Structures are given as structure tokens and as C-alpha cells.
């Protein structure tokens, strides 16, 4: 055998091995950076990455993830992240991290270079909450001068242009469909047929001479009647709940009317001056941005930690689908059993940063295989301040459930701003604040509450109009305590937020006295026009619902009385028969009257 034959082949194999050996870390680093950027929608930097085969481990150093909403800030960064993997699962191509440590975690640090990316991030939550953010920003205030000159008579207040009308039409159509379905159920020939059959059976019973077969037939009829009666009762209950639901949806018209009014007032640049709108304007954009970011990360976790078909379909396009077969002691493809976290959070007021400590457990690519929810805990305290974060991601079942709770106490509220300088801006100085929030996402449904509390803060208002400015300054003098609460509901595609606070009330009162009667009169005029446009639709819907309700209830009661009548007839018949046929005290085995 020629040596050139052997050596050349060994050389090629060696080159391939060298490519893997030396190229794996840079390739992994590049892939991690790309995956991170795709998830964060902002730049991700990794200073170093080192893998080792014996013992199997991975160390990432100097990672920074920029904040999409504030490109000159990092969402988080850390000094090092080290994974130690279990050897046995590796033989099965499963990456089980038994111990990991995240050191030097820092939240919200400044960046020298912008972390913005040119490409657009595809995120349902970002898109939905950005829309919500813009909506809350639309609130126009203190432009009374413009309001006076607006030709509000020309604004379109026809029924077809209003959300209230659209919603009323939808409720009408839904109710019509539901009542038609119910009517079909009760009117069905099958029900009448069964009723007639029972009647006929009752007639036949009179002519039957044999006691045993008469009792048996009566028993069978009794069962039929009981069954039919229970079906009628179930249908009646269903009708009740349908009617209650319809009544409830009528109240949602009020919310639509409020939104229509707000929209019209915004078009005419007339401030609505109610507490909810003002609080929404001041706190809405910031809150919507933060909630959007939090939900985006939950969305990311779902795509990486879910067995949903959509996630599989995405994998199919690029790298094929991995099919898992039966195994007795199965490991998930990736599992982070336990990770210790240490780090800090900047205080921003000259105080030392808050020391953070936490753990991350059960983060896996196959939650259904692992069977436990992933939990992230992060706590910090120091210098009279406290911070805690708890994220519980349960993707083990068919419907994923995520909970994100966060609380912060004793944080300085210096130089914080709310609102916009084009209409109304509120600036804080001094005082301390606390926030507690709980956000839940069950499937696509959202439910959340955020409570804000500020103690001993000084507020400074800046409005576009000087007379309003003076009145607001007067209303906001001195140190005060402020409370606010924000609720999040709806779905990931269509979220909604409502806010209330005592600050909103103070501002609303001050603005009302500043804007005077004129704005109130204009608002009332618009309200009257809106009500006039909506009234025929609302009245029509209410009348139709009332009429249908009566018709359906009558029908339900009629069916109920028909079947009760039959039942009574049968019982009477059985009583008479029993007296005439069976002597008192005699028991016949197997016979049940």
C-alpha cells in the first residue's frame, strides 16, 4: 500500500477534525449572537465563548443584550455564564445542565454604541402594545385655543362610523345566532316526536291488562319522561346563561361609547378631562412599553419551550423535524436543572447598586418531557430598597400558563417624567416609590395588575397653555402621596389597559376649573350628538333582545309544562293502578311503581 494513499486521507480527516475543533466555538458564538438578536430585536454582543469536551462544559463571557426600546441601554449584561453538562445524556445527544452559574448580572446599564438593529422584529406583543402605547399618547390636553376654533359640527358622528354601532351589530348577530340555535333545539321535530310517543304510550297503558307488563311499560315511560324533563331543564339553563351573557354584552356597549366619545374629543382636540383618560395618558405609554417587553420575552420563551405545532413547523423549514421515540428514562433535548445568579442593579441616585441573587430552574426545550414548570427567582435588597422577581413558565400542558410577578420598594423617584411636553408633562422630584405587578398569560389570554405607590414626592406640571400651567402648579404644591393602579386584560393580539389614580383626579379637577365651562359645554354637545346617533341602534337591540327573550322563555316554559303535565298524568295513573291491582302491603319482587 502506498504511503501517499494513507497519509493524504488521514490529512483530509485531520483537516475536517481541525475545522470542527477550532471552528466550533466561533460558530457557536455566532449562532448564539444571531439567536439572541432575533429574540431581543436588538444587538447582542458576546466577548468570548469556550466549550470543553472533558468534562463537558460551556462558558460564555461578557454578554450584553441591548434594550430594543432604549438602544443606548442594555436590557441586561453579565460577566460570565458557565454550564456544566451531564455526561450520560450527552451520549443520547441531550444537553442536560446540572449546574450553571450566572455571575455579574447587571440590569439597565448604559451603552456607548446604539444597540438598535435595522431589521424589524416580528413580535405579536411588541406590535400590540406599541399600538396601545400610541393610543394612550393620542390624548390631547390643554389645547383649548385649538378646540375653540375647531368646526366640530363637521366631525363625522354618523352611526356607521362609531365603534358602539359596530359592537351593537355584532351583539345582535351573535344573539340572533344563539337564539336561533336554541329555538331549533326546542322546536325540533325530535322533541315533539318523543312527546307524542310518551302520550301514545300513556294511552296504551290504559288498555294493557297484564299487570307485570303494565308496570314494566310504566317504568320505561317514567324513565323517558325523566330523561326528557332533564334535557328540557338543561336547555332552560343554557337559555338562562345565553340571556345573561347577552345582558352582559349590553354593558360592553357603555365601554364602546366611552371610547367613541374619547375618540371624538381627541379629533376635536377637546380634552375629556376624566380621571381614567388622564391617568392613561400619563402612565399608559411607559406601562404599555414595559408590559409589551415582558410579554415579548414570555412569547420568546413559549417558542423555545413549547411542543406546539407552530414551533415545530418553524424548525421544519430550516433543519428538519426531530422525531422522538419511546424511551424509558428520557431526558429533554435541553434542560437547565439549576442555575445560580448573582449580580447588581444600578440605583441611579448615587447609592451603591442593589445586590441581586437568584436561581433559574427547569428551563427546558421540552417542558412536557420534563413535567415541571420553569421558575426564575431574583431578589435584591440594600439601602432600604427591595426588589423581587418571580417568573413561572408552565408549558407542561396543552395550554401554556405564564406568571410574571415583580415588586420594587423604596426606589427614588427623582427626575422621572410622565406625559408629553407637547401637551402636559409631569416631573417628579424627591420621594420614594414602590411597584408591585402580577402579569398572567393563560394561552393567549392576558390578566394583569400593576400597583404604583409614591410617597412624599413633589410634582411639577408643565402644560402648553400658561393659565393651565399656573392652575396645575397651584393644585400640585407640596409633598404628596400618590397611588395608581393599572389593569391589563384582553388577548396577546388585542390587549387592553385601564388605569386609575388619585393624581388623575387632582389633575382633572384642576384642568376642569382651568378650561372652564366652555369645554364642558362642547363635550356635552358632542355627547348628545353621539347618543343621538347611537340611540336607534341601542334601542333596536334592546327591544329585539327583550322580544326574543320573551319568546324563548315562553317556549321553554311551555315545553316544561307539557312534560310536567305528562309526568303528573302518569303518576296519577300509576297510583290508581296500584290501588286497584295490588292489595295493600303486598310486595312483588322486581316490580317498581
Does 176 bind other proteins (CB under 8 A)? Our answer is no
Number of residues that bind other proteins (CB under 8 A): 27
Stretch that binds other proteins, among 172-180, 316-324, 495-503, 563-571 (CB under 8 A): 316-324
Does 18 bind other proteins (CB under 8 A)? Our answer is no
CB 224 within 8 A of CB 198: yes
Stretch that binds other proteins, among 51-59, 147-155, 205-213, 317-325 (CB under 8 A): 317-325
Q: How near is the Cβ of 363 to other proteins at its closest, in Å? A: 21
Nearer to other proteins by Cβ, of 335 and 461: the residue is 335
Does 326 bind other proteins (CB under 8 A)? Our answer is yes
Q: How near is the Cβ of 6 to other proteins at its closest, in Å? A: 8
Beta bridge pairs of residue 80: 61, 103
The only residue of 122, 158, 190, 320 in contact with other proteins, by rule CB under 8 A: 320
Does 31 bind other proteins (CB under 8 A)? Our answer is no
Does 564 bind other proteins (CB under 8 A)? Our answer is no
54-68 burial, b for 16+ CB within 10 Å, e for fewer?
eebbbebbebbbbbb
Distance CA(274)–CA(255), nearest Å, equals 14
Stretch that binds other proteins, among 7-15, 149-157, 295-303, 398-406 (CB under 8 A): 7-15
Nearer to other proteins by Cβ, of 2 and 118: the residue is 2
Does 35 bind other proteins (CB under 8 A)? Our answer is no
The only residue of 30, 92, 399, 474 in contact with other proteins, by rule CB under 8 A: 92
Does 54 bind other proteins (CB under 8 A)? Our answer is no
Distance CA(447)–CA(463), nearest Å, equals 34
Vertex 373, ends 101 and 89: CA angle to 5°? 60
Which segments of 92-162 does DSSP mark as H helices, in order? 124-137, 144-149
Nearer to other proteins by Cβ, of 9 and 34: the residue is 9
The only residue of 325, 398, 589, 592 in contact with other proteins, by rule CB under 8 A: 325
Nearer to other proteins by Cβ, of 3 and 120: the residue is 3
The only residue of 173, 197, 313, 322 in contact with other proteins, by rule CB under 8 A: 322
Name the pairing type of β-strands 334-345 and 354-364: antiparallel
Helix axes 124-137, 275-304, angle to 10 degrees: 170
Distance CA(61)–CA(79), nearest Å, equals 5
Grid cell in block for residue 193: 316526536
Does 550 bind other proteins (CB under 8 A)? Our answer is no
DSSP class of 333: S
The only residue of 4, 154, 207, 209 in contact with other proteins, by rule CB under 8 A: 4
For residue 81, which of 142, 136, 32, 123 has the smallest C-alpha distance? 32
The only residue of 321, 517, 587, 592 in contact with other proteins, by rule CB under 8 A: 321
Does 310 bind other proteins (CB under 8 A)? Our answer is no
CB 125 within 8 A of CB 277: no
What's the Rg (C-alpha) of the chain?
Answer: 35
For residue 175, which of 551, 559, 557, 560 has the smallest C-alpha distance? 551
For residue 49, which of 96, 10, 83, 73 has the smallest C-alpha distance? 83
Does 309 bind other proteins (CB under 8 A)? Our answer is no
Torsion of CA 147, 148, 154, 156, to 10 degrees: 30
The only residue of 93, 110, 517, 592 in contact with other proteins, by rule CB under 8 A: 93
DSSP string, 205-216: HHH---HHHHHH
Stretch that binds other proteins, among 37-45, 97-105, 325-333, 477-485 (CB under 8 A): 325-333
The site for other proteins (CB under 8 A) is made up of 2, 4-13, 16, 91-94, 316, 319-328
Amino acid at each position: 500500500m502506498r504511503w501517499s494513499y494513507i497519509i493524504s486521507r488521514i490529512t483530509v480527516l485531520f483537516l475536517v477534525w481541525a475545522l470542527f475543533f477550532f471552528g466550533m466555538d466561533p460558530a457557536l458564538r455566532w449562532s448564539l449572537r444571531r439567536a439572541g438578536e432575533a429574540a431581543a430585536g436588538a444587538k447582542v454582543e458576546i466577548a468570548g465563548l469556550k466549550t470543553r469536551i472533558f468534562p463537558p462544559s460551556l462558558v460564555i463571557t461578557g454578554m450584553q443584550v441591548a434594550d430594543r426600546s432604549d438602544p443606548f441601554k442594555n436590557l441586561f449584561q453579565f460577566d460570565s455564564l458557565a454550564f456544566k453538562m451531564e455526561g450520560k445524556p450527552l451520549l443520547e445527544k441531550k444537553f442536560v445542565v446540572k449546574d450553571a452559574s450566572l455571575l455579574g448580572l447587571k440590569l439597565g446599564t448604559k451603552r456607548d454604541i446604539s444597540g438598535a438593529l435595522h431589521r424589524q422584529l416580528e413580535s405579536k406583543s411588541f406590535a400590540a402594545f406599541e399600538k396601545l402605547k400610541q393610543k394612550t399618547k393620542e390624548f390631547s390636553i390643554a389645547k383649548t385655543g385649538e378646540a375653540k376654533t375647531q368646526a366640530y359640527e363637521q366631525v363625522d358622528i354618523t352611526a356607521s362610523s362609531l365603534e358602539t354601532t359596530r359592537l351593537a351589530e355584532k351583539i345582535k348577530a351573535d344573539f340572533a345566532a344563539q337564539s336561533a340555535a336554541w329555538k331549533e333545539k326546542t322546536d325540533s321535530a325530535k322533541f315533539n316526536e318523543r312527546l307524542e310517543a310518551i302520550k301514545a304510550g300513556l294511552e296504551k297503558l290504559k288498555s294493557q291488562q297484564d299487570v307485570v307488563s303494565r308496570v314494566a311499560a310504566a317504568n320505561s315511560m317514567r324513565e323517558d319522561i325523566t330523561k326528557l324533563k332533564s334535557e328540557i331543564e338543561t336547555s332552560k339553563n343554557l337559555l338562562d346563561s345565553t340571556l345573561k351573557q347577552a345582558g352582559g354584552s349590553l354593558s360592553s356597549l357603555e365601554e364602546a361609547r366611552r371610547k367613541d366619545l374619547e375618540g371624538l374629543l381627541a379629533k376635536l382636540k377637546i380634552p375629556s378631562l376624566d380621571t381614567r383618560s388622564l391617568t392613561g395618558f400619563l402612565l399608559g405609554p411607559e406601562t404599555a412599553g414595559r408590559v409589551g417587553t415582558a410579554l415579548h420575552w414570555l412569547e420568546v420563551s413559549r417558542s423555545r419551550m413549547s411542543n406546539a405545532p407552530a414551533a415545530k413547523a418553524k424548525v421544519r423549514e430550516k433543519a428538519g423535524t426531530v422525531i422522538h421515540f419511546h424511551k424509558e428514562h428520557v431526558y429533554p433535548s435541553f434542560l437547565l436543572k439549576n442555575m445560580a445568579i448573582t449580580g447588581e442593579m444600578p440605583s441611579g441616585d448615587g447609592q451603591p447598586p442593589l445586590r441581586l441573587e437568584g436561581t433559574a430552574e427547569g428551563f427546558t426545550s421540552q417542558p412536557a418531557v420534563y413535567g415541571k414548570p420553569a421558575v426564575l427567582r431574583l431578589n435584591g435588597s440594600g439601602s432600604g430598597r427591595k426588589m423581587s422577581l418571580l417568573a413561572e413558565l408552565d408549558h407542561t400542558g396543552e395550554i401554556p400558563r405564564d406568571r410574571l410577578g415583580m415588586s420594587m420598594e423604596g426606589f427614588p423617584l427623582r427626575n422621572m417624567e410622565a406625559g408629553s411636553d407637547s401637551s402636559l408633562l409631569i416631573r417628579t422630584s424627591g420621594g420614594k416609590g414602590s411597584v408591585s405587578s402580577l402579569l398572567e398569560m393563560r394561552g393567549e389570554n392576558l390578566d394583569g395588575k400593576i400597583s404604583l405607590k409614591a410617597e412624599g414626592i413633589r410634582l411639577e406640571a408643565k402644560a402648553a397653555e400658561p393659565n393651565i400651567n399656573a392652575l396645575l402648579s397651584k393644585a400640585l404644591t407640596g409633598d404628596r402621596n400618590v397611588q395608581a393602579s393599572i389593569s391589563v386584560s384582553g388577548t396577546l393580539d388585542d390587549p387592553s389597559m385601564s388605569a386609575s389614580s388619585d393624581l388623575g383626579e387632582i389633575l382633572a379637577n384642576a384642568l376642569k376649573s382651568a378650561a372652564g365651562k366652555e369645554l364642558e359645554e362642547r363635550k356635552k354637545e358632542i355627547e348628545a350628538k353621539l347618543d343621538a346617533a347611537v340611540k336607534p341602534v341601542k334601542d333596536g337591540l334592546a327591544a329585539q333582545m327583550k322580544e326574543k327573550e320573551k319568546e324563548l322563555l315562553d317556549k321553554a316554559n311551555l315545553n316544561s309544562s307539557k312534560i310536567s303535565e305528562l309526568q303528573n298524568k302518569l303518576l296519577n295513573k300509576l297510583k290508581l293502578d296500584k290501588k286497584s291491582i295490588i292489595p295493600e302491603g303486598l310486595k312483588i319482587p322486581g316490580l317498581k311503581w
